[in-house]
Structure 1
Amino acid sequence: MVVVKKKEHFWSLDTRETRCRPSLVMQVWDNDLFNPDDFLGTLELQLSNMPIPAKNAKSCNLNMMNSVSQDTKMVNLFDCKRVKGFWPFMNEDHGNQVLTGKIEMEMEVVTKAEEAVRPAGRARDEVNENPHLEPPNRPETSFLWFTSPWKTFKFIIWKKCKWIFIGILIAVLLGLLIALFVYAIPQLLARKMVGV
């Protein structure tokens, strides 16, 4: 529990003590240049009782955030000291929870002495020192479909619809083979009957 002490009013003499669970709330916003920023999704984690993160992005879904389910395994960050994995961002759409993104994150609880030895991002210092993170590998080319259609096809369409395309290709080849067979059989039968 986190204990928060504050005065209820400006003129209050006594401070009020409130106990609440420590939580981490993250939001994702689309940073538009001309339009107002769009809210994409949120993730709220109760640090003393949060779901175990997914090991990879494919297994990260909204079901892991359902604390009512018996399948959901929970972890206390203050007991295990370090957690790493993927968590889903979600948003409400017509009363339903919608998966709007995924985040790979590593959280670590350190003591004040450890923090003094290994500080992380004080003021304008570099933030990626403990643990050291490499700069993100961002592609130099864009994913706009009209500037690079092959890249869009490869990374977006082919990844999701690969087996559909392969199935259609096999069906077309089989159809052509059957059409050739049907086209060639009458000539072969006529030649056999005539004896040529």
Structure 2
Amino acid sequence: MQQFPTILPPPPLPDGSEAPARSAEKHANLVRFQSELEFVQCLAHPQYLHELSIQGYLSKPPFLTYLEYLEYWRSPEYVKFITYPTCLVYLTLLQTELFKSRLNDMGFINELIRVGTRHHETWRVEKPPSPEAPTEEDPSQTIDHGADDDERDDNDANEKKNGEGDGAPRGRRKGGGQGHAKGRSSLSSVTGIPPV
């Protein structure tokens, strides 16, 4: 079976010539960086944490020391490489005895998975307003220029007829303004450990 390289070669130089090969030390540092990044991101999955607990790694002092060492991933020059930020939350929680003791319970693991899945189902990033689009006015900041209710109703009817109105009350988002956190349980409510 053919062995595939785990580290990509350096990209070509801007003039198209091939870049010089990496030194052995630089290659070793790159392998270490990638393996530590991969391991710390594995901590984002509750079933992996359960497996570490079952195999007894969480009771071994050298492994716990290694977890403390991995805290450097929180610094700005490293955190930008992390794809699954939940791993840093679990890295913190792995420092507590209560969390480590509950990792043996499959019901607890299933609840962590449920909370994580629910978070990703409801999480969204608000799009910034485009520079061309008019911004919605805050009703508390608008000044009533004496327009009658009948005139407002006529304006609303004209907007709907022209396809401009969305039917949502002015100054409110569609969907009633409910945030994504409504009806969700947080990780701290599952673990019983207050947020850091």
TM > 0.5? no
Higher Cα Rg, which structure: 1
Task: Indicate the structure whose relative CO is greater, using CA pairs within 8 Å and at least 6 residues apart.
Answer: 2
User: Normalising by structure 2, what TM-score?
Assistant: 0.21
User: Normalising by structure 1, what TM-score?
Assistant: 0.21
Question: Which structure shows the bigger proportion of residues in strand conformation?
Answer: 1
